[in-house]
Amino acid sequence: MRITFLLEVADQIWGGVKVALEDANWLSHRGHEVTIVSRSGPPAWMKLDCEFLQVEDFRPEHLPDGDVLIGTFWSTVPWTASAGPQKGIPVHFCQGYEGDNPENEVVRERIEATYRLPGLQHITISPHLTSLLRNRFGIRANEVRYVVDHDVHKPTQKRPPQSPLRVGLVGPFQVPWKDLATGYKACGLAHKAGQNLVLVRASNTPPSPEEQDLPFAVEWHQQLRPDQMGEFYRSLDVFLGTSSGEEEGFFLPAIEAMACGVPSVLTDIPCFRNHQDLVGHDRYALFVDPQDPTAMAEAIVLAGALPDIRTSLRAGGIEVASHYHADVHGDQFEAVLKNLVASKGQNLPPSNELRLVTKEIPTPPLPVSLPTPPRANETRDPAPVQDPTPPASDITQHISPGSPFAKNITALTDKVLGKSADNSDGDSNETITRLLNELRTATEQANAKGNHNDAGRLLAAARCLGHNDDSLLHSMATSRLASGNAEQALQLYDERLRDGEDNETLHAGRGTALHALGRINEAAQAFRAALAAGARTPDNYNRLGVVLFQTGDVIAARQSFERALALDPNHVDARTNLNALPAA
């Protein structure tokens, strides 16, 4: 395969950058043609075994042709999505969700819009991220297990804790959700309580002012190369993971420290808890609540003082880390890419397609009660036609020449539309009734065969004959929805809404059209209006739940599915959707 990675910067030591570069090397060793494209120069801290291009931007003319194009950070993903098929299948490699980072507040809407881009395939590196993308954006991600370099990160002989106790803290202080400040406070409390310790810091950024003039010793390591980190971890007695919430996608340093046999104290957040799914227990760390320096200080003292706890944490950590092997990650990553390339051109479903299911809103039949025909010698002003129906002169081209009503359709529609002054033809009323019945039968047959475009044209003809019957308009709209023309369907529904119509069928149809157009919040409002205007049906509660799920409101979606099931315990779609939601 020809594989291209887009990196904003490749010359700075960040965990996500390191993993992407290591993946590029691994795939290159497997015989693939790999290119790194970055706005920065190449890394000085590791050797690349693949091609490297430095560019001003990621416009298509700056990218090599390929089979797969991988964006590795939210700002590179729009370039990936818009590069074109010659550059490869667009893939988003998500190692953490950037939208929750407080420092990204001003660009959060752009980040969320990026995640909703159509046509992308997504790869995640943890169950936590896979669930987050599914719940917020309806994305079906391909999950691959993350990677630890076990040649660098490996345990040595178990040793007794040192005095002072060496407590490790890794990462930039400047990133709020890393919450290193809580680690500092915890060390301060432990020091005040009599614990002799030194905080051993590693970061790719210089110390912040808040990291100066502390009451306990701090040992600084800045810009360590990846191949030096194993020695750093093995010098520790306790490792601290202080991240405060869902923003943390994986936090590789915690697993690297475990691989080196270091007892760990971690915050109780999803990315740290996910590891217990691999080993079936949580004895690989002492867990404390996020942003709780007192609990963290107590855990530091316990991990440093009690041999049995240290032995258990060391064994559990090594067991967890053993599941994150380079070859496992590489094999899974390569398999996903191969599958995407093999599926190219075969209508591969986008990974950001909504997973939940909903029944189609059925196309209502043409009315059984026909418009009242005019009596003899009665003149009636025809109601104006307000829908985008083809003019009568064009209707014949939409009707099969062999149809028994083809020869009369133009003359009859002209008569109904007022183009003929002679409305006294007694036979015309019977003919109109007969034609409407024939049109209704033909429409039902076309829909049954899946010929929704033909059904829409037949309904347009029927609308000319029975233009003052609103149910015909609803039938036209639903046929246009079924044929993939949601925009025209919405125009028809909105026309009736402007005329003051307010009923369940109208609002449910609008909701379906808006959903098809990707206007999810408006679709939710339309389905709420359908429930308010008509019967509270399980179908409408199910439809509302689907769109609420896609807006990210999982709690409200769950309530809607539960209401559907309260009305109909055997509602299959609502049951399926409820079971598909993540656990509360």
How do residues 309-321 score in pLDDT, each as one tens digit? 888 899 999 999 9
Question: pTM above the 0.75 mark?
Answer: no
Stretch among 122-126, 256-260, 579-583 having the lowest mean pLDDT: 579-583
Q: What is the CATH number of the domain that holds 277?
A: 3.40.50.2000
Residue 424 confidence (pLDDT):
43
Better-scored residue on pLDDT, 188 or 415? 188
- Quick one: three-class SS letters along 200-217? EEEECCCCCHHHCCCCCE
| Whether 15 contacts 252, CB under 8 Å | yes
| Whether 68 contacts 4, CB under 8 Å | yes
Better-scored residue on pLDDT, 456 or 49? 49
* Structural domain includes residue 500: no
Residues 6+ apart with CB under 8 A from 545: 356, 556, 557, 558, 559, 560, 561, 564, 574, 577
* Structural domain includes residue 575: no
- Summarize the confidence of residues 425-445 as an average pLDDT: 62
Report the distance separating Cα 426 and Cα 386, nearest Å: 27
- Summarize the confidence of residues 342-355 as an average pLDDT: 50
* pLDDT of residue 239 exceeding 80: yes
Residue 363 confidence (pLDDT):
32
How far from the centroid of its chain's Cα atoms is residue 487's Cα?
24
* Structural domain includes residue 507: no
Q: How many domains does the chain have?
A: 3
User: How sure is the predictor about 347, in pLDDT bands with cuts at 50, 70 and 90?
Assistant: very low
Better-scored residue on pLDDT, 479 or 11? 11
pLDDT tens digits for range 506-546: 888 888 888 878 788 888 888 888 888 877 888 888 888 88
Residue 473 confidence (pLDDT):
64
* pLDDT of residue 394 exceeding 60: no
Structural domain of 462: 371-468
My answer on whether 41 and 14 are in the same domain is yes
- Summarize the confidence of residues 169-192 as an average pLDDT: 90
Last residue of one domain, picked from the residues 468, 502, 519: 468
CB atoms within 10 A of CB 376: 10
* pLDDT of residue 194 exceeding 80: yes
User: How sure is the predictor about 360, in pLDDT bands with cuts at 50, 70 and 90?
Assistant: very low
My answer on whether 312 and 337 are in the same domain is no
User: How sure is the predictor about 264, in pLDDT bands with cuts at 50, 70 and 90?
Assistant: very high
Mean pLDDT, the chain, integer: 78
Better-scored residue on pLDDT, 502 or 582? 502
Q: Which structure tokens are listed for 75?
A: 């700002």
My answer on whether 136 and 184 are in the same domain is no
* Structural domain includes residue 516: no
Residue 550 confidence (pLDDT):
77
My answer on whether 413 and 443 are in the same domain is yes
> Which among 24, 13, 5, 17 is positioned nearest to 76, based on CA atoms?
5
